[in-house]
Structure 1
């Protein structure tokens, strides 16, 4: 018996030397426990299943989202070497995971495998071989098919474990910040979740805090200039380039909670203001937007911010659709809960009361009238959300600051995001060959002859008759302005020089290629050549 004890103790001691995390049970001899990491070679797609109902003893389930998991909770192994091991009896093994994400049939198969392995090895010492087999099974996700079917109640625990494990692995490395260009340990760096670019937290905090303070929420995204350019289609690059960060990622950097709250408020405010159906509370001290199912109510604490819904992944390549409020006149302020009529802006009077639109044109104050006249004269409205946009300089291809729609500054026509300059190349249009009209803005340089826009603009058209949000040709613009080929060539040369100087500052001038210009710049050159 002493020889058997020595043989079992010797094997466990050898295994402990190979796996320092192996723990010997002080209360039961010849017993040890070991946690084995589960990190599949190929990350698993996990489907979260919700139990909807049970019909005739069969569970009806639905998928509530999918998540990519690189790390799963470890497999806890408890092994006991009984009397008679290894010649007469195999080891006794029990396996479990916490939480219990591994299916019971897989656990039972792995536990039975120790006896089969003992027989295959001629009834000899097989503890190391069994651990090695479990590690190989873990790398192959225990033969589980992808996507892995998991119950919904495990979602939070498994995602938190995966994120925590990724963070610990990341913090063990060293990285170069793409902003300050200094080498930094992983403990002070942050990796962007969508694209994987790495920056030090100090640089991110300074940049994003300044952007949020100044209200420039559209710049709260990956700062890498090449983000979204490699290996993607034009539509995919545009979507990734325009996608702002989720509040959850800002909290993970970490940003101050007050800054993240302001960020969410500004994004929600931008979406609400760009919606033509939004009405505001008539109380002068409130002026909050009416409640809408399309926009999430602002949530104030950090936990709610982390779960705040985001819609920046919407495809902008399609024609924006118009929204209507239908016959429902009841509106409830999201700030003060005041119930009022959308039509007359008075306290809610019921559905059967006929009311008239409030504030006729002759009731508008002189100050508001002057402001309206100025906006009409010196801005062009976005065809999607009617936001007035003013051009200070540049070409007549505009992008709305509210909804990011592409449109023509001269006639307010909606432009296709994939090829916005086609509008200026179509013969027969009033905007044909007029990309650079009003190059210095509506007022221009006082010492230069410019064309001041004097015609009607889009918001002066009856949208109810034309169809709100439908792209089309706006009113006829002013007379065409002559654009000299010399000025166009100068603009092309200036842009090319700026690009070369940028490469020179980064010691990359050897990679300069005059043919590798941005798509928008190339389109401008084509228009210049046609003008000649």
Structure 2
């Protein structure tokens, strides 16, 4: 009767354990049909909080010639303990469970095969003995034995075992490096296991997307480095639109607090950049490649040390060359010979003025550039194939040549000389390019204002003088071009004594806005259409 009651109690206890921990409990057939149940418990340890962990070489063999450096990391999960236990037929009323073995195997990786335990045998023995001690305490308290497998599993899984064994002191977990491995490999294996468990836990948890506000499982969500979580579909739509339109600043966390924080940072700060592997997993390889190209081009536009590859089929951003470790030119040595007799007989008076430092010569390799995409080597000044450091550029000062050419009358001997020296086709091409650039420059200076953040030209068609750049989100004044604070942008216009005081809106004597680019009127047909214009249309036509 007692054995039947024990068997029923064992079945009830195992049913509860399988419902709570379905993946941690395995029941094996008892060999040779012996009485009792044979179980294997796989018990991963979850620390109560992100626990700081110190690694020491306490358990390394003494014959080690080099001292292993101490490592420090923060962990939430530890590798599982594996217990093989036999439940006797009279458990739990009259006999405790019999532990066959308890191990703490090192986590395995694809590259390294780890052997041994990550906890010393003395600690494992104390954990093992606690199983029988718990059964005896329950028997003394209740008068008969009780099931203790669940209680012991909770003691292990929650990490209480480490605190009671002295492994956690003042919130710090102290682990010794096993003698079968080294500290770096042990550190890497613990980090890898912890990251894997965090990822699995994230995929099983439901989160609320900050864009669509729907609950999604973690396997359909993305967590950014800032901690914000979005469903993959919403974040993909957001970043796809940003990359397609070229607004690279929007390829970041779209939550309002993070957007506000980025607005206060330096526009050249790249700390908010999304990792390329994460971006590719969200938008795919094609958009990720476009994002990288746009980012390089943007850097070439903002950073004056960057340039663009002159090949029309490439046009990739070319960074400046790395600074040399040695100076480009050495100081010239003095040619004066100093004799020992001159020093001993008539020492020269000391000159209080120090000698002038030699003027450094121009680095002849300063104009060299090499495209990282097509590997085209070219000159920064003339945009031609690299002609070497000792050969001057064919057109070192294009603007000066064009101005000199245009200063002479058409058909003059001076123009013929320049055409013969440089080539008429080249001169015509340079003149057309210079005239186009000059007209563009005059148009930009007369109708636009440069952004104070990235330098892109902005044209105002209506509204106030408080401008927000559509490229870098910088706030600036359209009237004077100064950068203004995004926290209080109107302080710039409300400070007495400043040139822009009370100039948020500018109007003329008639109350009409000034410093605004108006669209050109569309005039169709002949003079008959002019009769239907009002005074405003006529004034616009006269101005244009």
TM-score band, normalised by the shorter chain?
0.5 to 0.7
Structure 1 residues 239 and 156 mapped into 2: Cα distance closer, same or farther (>3 Å)?
farther
Structure 1 residues 225 and 450 mapped into 2: Cα distance closer, same or farther (>3 Å)?
same
Partners of 1:188 and 1:200 within 8 A in 2:
no
Q: CA deviation at 1:340?
A: 2.2
**Partner Cα distance (1:217, 1:248) in 2:** 16
Partner of 2:383: 345
Partner of 2:410: none
Alignment of 1:312-461 (within 5 A): 328-351=366-389, 355=393, 357-360=396-399, 362=402, 363=430, 364-437=433-506, 448-451=512-515
Residue 211 (1) aligns with residue 242 (2): yes
Partners of 1:76 and 1:95 within 8 A in 2:
yes
Partner secondary structure for residue 436 of structure 1: coil
**Partner Cα distance (2:121, 2:460) in 1:** 66
Structure 1 residues 447 and 398 mapped into 2: Cα distance closer, same or farther (>3 Å)?
closer
Residue 36 (1) aligns with residue 12 (2): no
**Partner Cα distance (2:51, 2:374) in 1:** 46
**Partner Cα distance (1:350, 1:239) in 2:** 33
Range that drifts further, 362-371 or 141-150: 141-150
Residue 104 (1) aligns with residue 104 (2): no
CA shift digits 1:402-425 (9 cap, x unpaired): 444443322222334555444434
Structure 1 residues 82 and 132 mapped into 2: Cα distance closer, same or farther (>3 Å)?
same
**Partner Cα distance (1:278, 1:58) in 2:** 47
Aligned-residue RMSD, C-alpha: 5.0
Structure 1 residues 286 and 265 mapped into 2: Cα distance closer, same or farther (>3 Å)?
closer
CA shift digits 1:455-511 (9 cap, x unpaired): xxxxxxxxxxxxxxxxxxxxxxxxxxxxxxxxxxxxxxxxxxxxxxxxxxxxxxxxx
Residue 59 (1) aligns with residue 68 (2): yes
Q: CA deviation at 1:132?
A: 2.4
Alignment of 1:183-262 (within 5 A): 185-186=216-217, 190=221, 192-194=223-225, 200-225=231-256, 243=272, 245-252=274-281, 254-262=282-290
Partners of 1:137 and 1:143 within 8 A in 2:
no
CA shift digits 1:223-265 (9 cap, x unpaired): 4556677xx99969x999x95654444455x433323332333
Partner secondary structure for residue 365 of structure 1: helix
**Partner Cα distance (2:300, 2:173) in 1:** 37
Q: CA deviation at 1:147?
A: 8.8
Range that drifts further, 358-367 or 196-205: 196-205
* TM-score, with length taken from structure 1: 0.58
**Partner Cα distance (2:257, 2:79) in 1:** 37
**Partner Cα distance (1:56, 1:353) in 2:** 59
Range that drifts further, 35-44 or 82-91: 82-91
Question: Which one of the candidate residues 11, 19, 24 is aligned to 2:17?
Answer: 19
**Partner Cα distance (1:186, 1:31) in 2:** 36
CA shift digits 1:260-287 (9 cap, x unpaired): 3323332333233211111122233322
Partner of 1:169: 205
Q: Which runs of 5+ in 1 are unaligned?
A: 50-54, 295-324, 439-443, 454-532
* TM-score, with length taken from structure 2: 0.57
Partners of 1:423 and 1:431 within 8 A in 2:
yes
Partner of 2:349: none
Q: CA deviation at 1:339?
A: 1.7
Partner secondary structure for residue 395 of structure 1: coil
**Partner Cα distance (1:386, 1:77) in 2:** 63
Partner secondary structure for residue 314 of structure 2: coil
Which protein shows a greater Rg?
2
Structure 1 residues 394 and 35 mapped into 2: Cα distance closer, same or farther (>3 Å)?
farther
**Partner Cα distance (2:308, 2:173) in 1:** 46
**Partner Cα distance (1:211, 1:38) in 2:** 43
Question: Which one of the candidate residues 158, 174, 180 is aligned to 1:136?
Answer: 158
Structure 1 residues 6 and 261 mapped into 2: Cα distance closer, same or farther (>3 Å)?
farther
